[in-house]
Structure 1
Amino acid sequence: MEKLVMPFPDPQFWRGRRVLVTGHTGFKGAWLVWWLHRMGAEISAFALPAEQTPALADVLDIEQRCHAATIDLADAERVRTFVQTVQPEIVFHLAAQALVRPGYRDPVRTFTSNVSGTVHLLEAIRQTPGVKSVVCVTTDKVYDNIEQAVYYRETDALGGMDPYSASKAACELVIRSYRDSFLAAAGVGVASVRAGNVIGGGDWSEDRLIPDAVRAWQSDAVLQIRRPDAVRPWQHVLEPLNAYLVLAERMTNNASLAQAWNIGPRKAFSVRDVISLAHSAYGSGEVQFDQVESGPHEAGLLMLDAGKIAAGLGIVPRWTLEETVQRTMQWYRDFATGQSGTALCERDLNAFLTVVSDSV
């Protein structure tokens, strides 16, 4: 089969580029700021403090790599003032309440952060000259999930039963409205990106599969899996981040790219599949798969069709699930022995940037 070299962000484009990242204290946000800093971008960022310890933002000294502020997206005036002060050319919007189960515990905060917060940011951008492109991160859970073996496309109906999913579907409407009503006419490209479930080294978030596994196995506890047969589009964190960067870069000169994009693997796998691979890669620990699903409703079957971004931007998955899980668990094992988190991220990114993918 023919081999194709897939697109990566161009460091020459990003060197000295004024970039704003919201959510830099989160898992993906910290990885993104670190990658942008590595390419020489001039980064500003705002977020709330990290909710867990350790946090990748601290491990990578993210606030030393950017002009950072602590701002709540709910505070429209502070958001506007910050955006107008830093005058970004490119914006990556990652700040959010990003988990399903906390969304049930605090739906008001979830809708305020995800919906009103997105309005506040886009309104600030509307009032700030010089912005060229905006990439708004939503989720794979924005679709009206019919719980059947359907690979959702960007043209499928939006929906969401739980507060988190519904808030992100509403975000998509906000993004489209601001793009069509205001920002496209002002020459600002605004895209939404709907990424599948991400894993990778440095995630210590509450209620996520791999962090929960690492915490359990490092403390000699039994890992309880409440929905072992739930199916998700798993991918390494570098896969969507690469897509975000390439999209933002291309969109500065191509307004037609300002639309919604799925980012995910060719095939989805079950939680049981992922944990079996993780357990083997970690080398120790116990797992108990629940026989009866527990907790509030979560989608049992979710798959994405990422054919559009493959055709439009040439972006396809670099790593198989096996390699993704192996590299993720190696990161945690090595970090636990005292190795530098920065060095471990360098190792993964350097490996990622040398991958050649099979054509499809």
Structure 2
Amino acid sequence: MDLSNVYEGKSVLLTGDTGFKGSWLALWLHKIGASVTGIGLEPKTSRDNYCACGLGSVITHYSCDIRHYDQIQDFFSATNPDMVFHLAAQPLVSESYSSPRETFEINTQGTANILECIRHTPSIQVGVMITSDKCYENREWIYGYRETDPLGGHDPYSASKGAAEIVISSYIRSFFSKDGTPVISSARAGNVIGGGDWSKDRIIPDFMRSLEERKPIDIRNPRAVRPWQHVLEPLYGYLQLGATMLTKGHSFSGAWNFGPLYRNNLTVEDLMRKFIEQGKRGEMKIPEQHESFHEAGFLSLDISKAIHQLGWHPVLDIDTMIRFTLEEYGVDNLSTEAVFNQRCAHIDEYMNLQKKV
């Protein structure tokens, strides 16, 4: 799909633009000609992707908290966007244990606030609401979760995302199902890696910090299996979904999974071994005992719906995903222009791979 044909000249409002995935999506939207307005918190560090790419000079950013409904409604009214991508969130399982109430306020009530803003902004045609693969009731089985499987969540983060999905479904059925109303969908993806992510308690940022500190990385849950994917894979899914919703309407409303090729489902330990082998540096340590919070042991997504109905396909094998990620962190200390150009080069390489599918 030629995304420029759909997004060029469109006014797109993006929540969470300073976050890891949000900043990559803002860059991609700008690259294909959209007029991007971002709302979210200020970047946590100068190394975050938003700052590293110099995105503040190419998009419009409003600093606000999505828990403040009146403020974000003012930004919606001032922007009059054609499309909305909602990525603002409290994104960490570990943080949800220390701040559970805040996690629910941001991830669940915050999602309701964005949907309410969409409901009261006549210009909006499409809203893509990003949740998480952790929204499912985890059964610790080997099968990929389908969009129709039960929602749930053991930890506060997962539960907040499951609850957000229920809110989204309610708004779709109550307010966004008739012709002439915005087309709303939810997108479920997780375990996304790529340059510019320096969040705590995430395996790749922790690994990159361990390289800088020249010490082994402690592997918290070495046997946990996750659907690893480079950030460009789900973002292309979000963009393709938004474009299809815009052109084909309510038949593409609802929930969508975006996960990797099945062979990219690796244990944390195996992923680290591959990073160390390919990057030719680093060391990991697996403690005999590790005090930790509960996390799912096995998690996988069934992406059949996106493949067959949307025409989306993951294209990056594990080695290419790791190469992309190492190259992106490798330019971390260069100029914002160099980082921006390198990110764009990876988007171009990724889209060339998509053309071969």
List per-residue Cα deviations over 1:120-140 (Å, max 9, x = no partner).
Answer: 111111011021110000000
CA distance in 1, matches of 2:333, 2:37: 30
Q: Does 1:216 align with 2:210?
A: yes
Identify the residue that residue 301 of structure 1 maps to in structure 2: 298
The Cα shift of 1:282 comes to 2.1
Does residue 69 (structure 1) correspond to residue 69 (structure 2)? The answer is: no
How far is the alpha carbon of 1:357 from its aligned partner? 7.4
**1:16 maps onto 2:13 in alignment:** no
Q: Partner amino acid for 2:33?
A: G
1:72 deviates by 0.4
Deviations 1:329-349 (A, max 9, x none): 122124346792112212211
Q: Is the 8 A contact 1:23 1:46 kept in 2?
A: yes
- Counterpart for residue 40 of structure 1: 33
The aligned counterpart of 2:271 is 274
Structure 1 pair 350/358, CA: closer, same or farther in 2 (3 Å)?
closer
| Cα-to-partner distance string for 1:17-64 (whole Å, 9 max, x where unaligned) | 010000000011111111111111111110011223411101112222
In structure 2, what is the equivalent of residue 230 of structure 1? 224
Tell me what 2:87 maps to: 94
* SS at structure 1 position matched to 2:134: helix
Equivalent residue runs for 1:121-270 within 5 Å: 121-185=114-178, 186-254=180-248, 255-267=250-262, 268-270=265-267
Deviation digits for residues 272-325 of structure 1 (CA, Å, limit 9, x no counterpart): 111111111222122102334531100010010001100011111110012101
Greater shift in the superposed pair: 164-173 or 177-186: 177-186
Matched residue, 2:349:
351
Q: Which deviates more from structure 2 when the two are superposed, residues 212-221 or residues 280-289?
A: 280-289
Unmatched tracts of structure 1, length 5 or more: 1-6
Q: Contact conserved, 2:175 with 2:181, CA < 8 A, in 1?
A: no
In structure 2, what residue type is equivalent to 1:217?
A: L
What residue number does 1:3 align with? none
Q: Is the 8 A contact 1:24 1:62 kept in 2?
A: no
Alignment of 1:45-60 (within 5 A): 45-60=38-53
1:113 aligns with 2:106: yes
Partner amino acid, structure 1, of 2:294: H
TM-score (norm 1): 0.94
Contact 1:281 1:330 in 2 (8 A): no
Q: Matched residue of 2:247: which SS?
A: coil
Q: TM-score, structure 2 length as denominator?
A: 0.95
2:317 pairs with 1:320: yes
Residues 356/77 of structure 1: CA separation in 2 closer, same or farther (3 Å cut): closer
- What is the aligned counterpart of 1:331 among 328, 334, 354? 328
Partners of 2:251 and 2:317 in 1: CA distance: 30
Deviation string 1:157-205 (CA, Å, 9 cap, x unpaired) is 0000100000000000111111110122352110000013111111111
Structure 2 counterpart SS, 1:302: coil
Over 3 Å counting, the alpha-carbon distance change for 1:358 and 1:347 in structure 2 is: closer
Range with greater deviation from structure 2 (193-202 or 295-304): 193-202
Aligned counterparts of 1:292 and 1:358: Cα–Cα separation in 2: 46
Q: Is residue 103–residue 162 contact of structure 1 (8 Å, CA) maintained in 2? A: yes
SS at match of 2:186: strand
Query: Is 1:291–2:291 an aligned residue pair?
Result: no
